[in-house]
Amino acid sequence: MYDLIIIGMGISGISASIYAKRAGMKVLLLEGSAPGGTINKISEIENYPGIISISGPDLAYNLFEEVNKLNIEYKLERVTDVLLDETKTVKTTSNIYVAKYLLIASGRRPKMLGLKDEEKYLGRGISTCALCDGALYKNSDVAVVGGGSSALSEALYLANIVNKVYLIHRKEEFRGEDTLIKEVEKKDNIELILNNEVTSLIIKEDKIEGLILKDGQKINVKGLFIYIGYIPNTDFLENTDIKMENGYIVVDEHHKTNIKGVYASGDVTKKDIYQIVNAASEGAEAVVYMVK
């Protein structure tokens, strides 16, 4: 029996676990992939106070080091279901755990374009992580799809590795940070393709050789990197009565859900700002309000 189970080992979940451990709670962290969550897929982080610049994997490693230093218990197991009675029961692929409180900090995952054979070529020409796969396309031409800060920053990262980057956005203007937009516009090997969309893949000998756009234009590329938004990781909550909007968990100012003893923090919640710094603070705040 735990005092608190935290689902997700991203920065929000780990931040919460640190505060819970220091408050004397018996806490368990659960993570279905790698500690650090989405941070592992960010090439460079330059907007976190006190850290001038750090790679995502390095920050994730530092977070995991702190978990180990504080002897916070964790299990790398994917959560499949939860039962939210007086006590909170969490089922994973391997075990069943019970706690007084539950904090959901499961984050979100990249949204895909919905192209034919998209899933088949994910990891084989299609990627959602430039840091993970960029080196595979050294001296080749690639395409990045998206108009937000993630698409802009990953296009800049790839531009230092590949021969050319086609940055494709379905609108006339980008919605990312102004500094990133200016950097992208200065890069000689980034070509902007606006008011357009990818409609299909060009496949030859079971490999991606190019893309066909909405206006009929064909682009010869070896890789496609997708950054068009996210889907919250709330599939395991299907059998609960937790209030959600478009899959995101609705919480109050204390990070409480509509169910007693259940809290949520970070990118899995419905909010206006999705940044590393507020995800970290939300995890800490949730525990502070929990133990008051």
Active site residue 206: no
The active-site residue, picked from 81, 129, 241, 272, is 129
Q: Which amino acid is at 291?
A: V
In whole angstroms, what is the distance from residue 128 CA to residue 268 CA?
A: 18
Strand 108-110 vs strand 230-232: parallel, antiparallel, or unpaired?
antiparallel
In whole angstroms, what is the distance from residue 157 CA to residue 180 CA?
A: 11
**CB burial of residue 1 (10 Å; 0-12, 13-18, 19+):** exposed
In whole angstroms, what is the distance from residue 110 CA to residue 2 CA?
A: 32
> 3-class DSSP state for residue 155?
helix
| 260: CB partners within 8 A, 6+ apart | none
Closest CA to 20 of 103, 107, 104, 105: 103
Active site residue 132: yes
What dihedral angle (degrees, nearest 10) is formed by the CA atoms of 217, 218, 220, 223? 90
The active-site residue, picked from 58, 132, 188, 267, is 132
State the DSSP string of 22-51.
HTT--EEEE-SS-TTGGGGG-S-B--BTTB
∠ at Cα 33 (67, 58), nearest 5°? 55
Active site residue 117: no
The active-site residue, picked from 133, 206, 235, 252, is 133
Q: Which amino acid is at 179?
A: T
Active-site residues, by number, are: 129, 132-133
